[in-house]
Structure 1
């Protein structure tokens, strides 16, 4: 078995890559990752240089870990800027580092792809490869339990906890069925929020990826880019990415448009897995009270209920989601650092941080709007 970093997924076939996937997670599919590369959304200029760590046996792909050479820490959603700053002050090189992650997507899921035996060999070979390439270490973000077990069995890896807020659908008949599980005051608040949007004459329409015209994709991208522009930032994704993705995996895409009359004013872009709706990008070109909550949260819940999806991941962070029924959900990342002093310092920090994260996740449940015994 041989191991190498691939500078592009073009080095392997879509069939061989997708054969390693354990489920229908859209972010791991060849079409998604290759579209990022071909559209220029990732590459040397963006600081996300593809470096997929793979195992080959007689030319056959046996295991893989999608990854990137990073020259910064932006777009990762597991924040290590303080580690990099400490290294800078101590004259310890922190960049380049190697990151096993889905670019710009804080979505938990499989990261180690392939059978357990091949993946164990892949992980065992990684530290030496990091040293050869001059990487300060490896970071694997938003892992699933299977990846956690494999990484926990390897020496030197540090585990880090995070917290997001996800909504769970136990099988609601409709949105009212969900409302009936809430405390009276919260139920009235949500109804009022939805009524405020309706009073502005705004309606909502869902389209799958294959149903959008290029003009509609232009609108989607304009809204997406505007979300960054209002914060003085450039968008991570290029316009071409959306067209490539719509061509290659249209059935995994759902976009909800908010319209006032015949004029679109906002959108939310989502991807769909086996039983999960992933709300990814939002943007508006006109401001209306409560429009963000309706477009990104309530419409997503409506869709998940109507289509029998049991899980709604509406994105990272956002304590404001708690009062809308999104429950605290622990996430995990893993970190292997070559510098022994840095590894020890980060290990101490992570132990303290973990206690805080666990305490917050427990405390956050008190803010949930469910009647006792419902959450």
Structure 2
């Protein structure tokens, strides 16, 4: 009989990259050993950040058979599946919501594998181990965020509470060109996008899409300023350190697509994307000059250009943002799982999530109907 065990790893450096990625993490850039290692080595997670690595490693007959990126959390920042109201309610009732166990990629609202294994039994063991760790450590619960739909179904069967959220994704329907894509939009939306792109491209400079060795250290210097500006305005304190981008350049620049706007030889705005095997993931944007519609051009239209040119099937442009709808990004359901140690709290959240899932489903249906595509397209 095979022996299955699960252990906790306090640093990603404690496992060989080939063993971690070999479980199935390599198809998504964010779950790779190199990305998670960049977060830890740069100090973006770890001591003083509220994200304390506690990765799970499943072994079958002493061989690594599954992994899960996990963190002990002392706050709810950088998750993008919001549970602040749960924390407040639990603490008003006299409980301690923090610390909690979070199975996620920090600061990254991107769907991808969380129970990383090609064996359902191993995936189930990882879910059981998370709950066991929470019980033994006196944690309030476990949260598996931006998991796959299949993982959500597995988790629900294991007693976790499923939660539905919404993002906006662009899907490639085999388009031969951007104009081919525009031909499927209503006349009004098509004209609006053309006008928007023309105005953005007339900002007085050039726009380049850079990948791999085309990205130079000076480009990261510029992007760091963009990231600092956006981060300080959006969430108060940028999560990533400057060292993270240096490590990203050293270990992952082939996974990066940096769309850069320059004027008079000076970078003035940029959008950073990560490339998966079949998907572009929009991550960060920033600027030091304001130009009409330049944000939409760099973040959304250029990503579609790249996907069509390189035959990729989708663009995931990050969390929230109904403004993406008019630019061809349609609402898509995303998934998370939640296990809460206190039964009364578990039941109250379960009731809320049932109603929330219904509301999310109705909104996705309504927004899809309101989308820019011609009826029947």
TM-score category, normalised to shorter length:
over 0.9
The structure 2 residue matched to 1:247, chosen from 246, 250, 254, is 250
Which residue in 2 is equivalent to 1:188? Answer: 191
Which residue in 2 is equivalent to 1:324? Answer: 327
Secondary structure in 2 matching 1:271? strand
Structure 1 contact 21–28 (Cα < 8 Å) conserved: no
CA distance in 1, matches of 2:127, 2:280: 31
Number of aligned pairs?
A: 373
* 1:262 to 2:271 alignment: no
Which residue in 2 is equivalent to 1:91? Answer: 94
1:320-349 C-alpha deviation (Å, 9 max, x unpaired): 111111111001100000001100100000
* 1:64 to 2:67 alignment: yes
Query: Structure 1 residues 189 and 244 mapped into 2: Cα distance closer, same or farther (>3 Å)?
Result: same
Q: CA deviation at 1:367?
A: 2.1
The structure 1 residue matched to 2:369, chosen from 360, 366, 371, is 366
CA distance in 2, matches of 1:210, 1:338: 48
The structure 2 residue matched to 1:118, chosen from 118, 122, 144, is 122
CA distance in 2, matches of 1:24, 1:194: 32
* 1:7 to 2:17 alignment: no
TM-score by length of 2: 0.96
Secondary structure in 2 matching 1:83? helix
TM-score by length of 1: 0.96
Which residue in 1 is equivalent to 2:141? Answer: 137
Q: Could you tell which deviates more after superposition, 324-333 or 60-69? A: 60-69
Q: CA deviation at 1:9?
A: 0.8
* 1:52 to 2:55 alignment: yes
Q: CA deviation at 1:93?
A: 1.0
1:166-200 C-alpha deviation (Å, 9 max, x unpaired): 00111111111111111111111111111112222
CA distance in 1, matches of 2:122, 2:246: 35
CA distance in 2, matches of 1:252, 1:165: 22
Q: CA deviation at 1:261?
A: 3.4
Q: CA deviation at 1:23?
A: 5.3
Structure 2: which 5+ runs fail to align?
none
1:283-340 C-alpha deviation (Å, 9 max, x unpaired): 0010001111111111111111111111000111001111111111001100000001
1:1-375 maps to which residues of 2 (within 5 A)? 1-21=4-24, 24-57=27-60, 59-114=62-117, 115-155=119-159, 157-231=160-234, 233-374=236-377
Structure 2 contact 45–52 (Cα < 8 Å) conserved: yes
RMSD over aligned CA atoms reads: 1.4
CA distance in 2, matches of 1:98, 1:318: 28
Q: CA deviation at 1:4?
A: 2.1
